[in-house]
Amino acid sequence: MKHVKQKFNLVLSFVTAFLLLPALSIAQNAEVVEKGSFQALKTPIILVVALIVAIGLLILIEKKVPRKVRPIFSIVFLLASVFFGFKIYMSIMAPVEFKQEKEKRYSAVIHNLKDIRDSQLAHKTITGNYAKDFTALENFIETAQFAIVEKRDTSYTYFDKVYKIDKLKEEVILDTLSFEPVRDSLFKGTDRYKKMKFVPYAKNDQQEFTMKVDSIIVNGYTAPVFKVSVDKTLVLYDLDKDLLRQETRVISVDQVDGKEIFVGSLDKVSDSGNWPTSYEIESKKKK
């Protein structure tokens, strides 16, 4: 029985290690952490060091500690193993939890950006330009109307005086049937548009998106452009700082690129966002 407790602790250490391996595997997934990053290397290093220390302590107890006090050391070692095992597990699972929380917050942010984009496109359709700020955009939503039109193709013949023959001419006639409020068309009569300017999950619940409007020359014509954006640090401010720094350097078609989440552009005519199609699919599922 004299070595039973020490052997038990040794077995417990290895069992704990094998229980941590699935979490370690998840943490090394390229979709969770960037390959070669500090976060990707940190978790296996912690696990290896912990196992080496655990085995070293067991050998030390076996050779140096008197038998009478070995039970005390065994209990302390057992408690320490549980404590550090929990810490290692939390360290390994941190990227997984970060990814889950990040995607939840990004979904809410992108939902608002889509509302702003749709409102700006409606503003341009009716007025020819984008709204310069959120106040103007909200006033537009509350007062503007879409014209409901009907297209009719018509054709008739006319005498061409040059060629001295009858020719067929086709035209499209637009008939205005009625008008529909922009608010009802885009927001189904709700007041969701009043909250779309605020950044979800920001530390300050009154934090607004940054919206800029300008114009550029395209093929000799002046074209209006807009961009609405928010820094990722404002959305993920309370999450792991190492993982947050890694997130701001992301360049991938499967993730939100760069330091910010945005829709539109001031450099080209575009109403696209920098998020992957997975967020579009998720939005459709919620509808």
pLDDT, tens digit, 9 for 90 and up, residues 157-176? 777 777 778 777 777 665 55
Mean pLDDT along residues 66-82? 72
Q: Mean pLDDT for the chain?
A: 80
More confident residue, 78 or 100: 100
Query: Distance (Å, rounded) from C-alpha 53 to C-alpha 37?
Result: 25
Q: Rounded to the nearest 5°, which phi and psi values hold at 267?
A: -100, -20
Which pair of tokens denotes residue 107? 């979904």
Tell me, what's the pLDDT at 30?
47
Cβ(247)–Cβ(232) under 8 Å? yes
Mean pLDDT along residues 137-152? 82
- pLDDT beyond 80 at 147: no
pLDDT, tens digit, 9 for 90 and up, residues 237-272? 999 998 999 999 988 888 999 999 999 999 999 999
- pLDDT beyond 50 at 205: yes
Question: Please, where are the H alpha helices in the chain?
Answer: 4-27, 38-64, 70-127, 134-143, 182-187, 232-235, 241-247, 277-286
Mean pLDDT along residues 139-147? 89
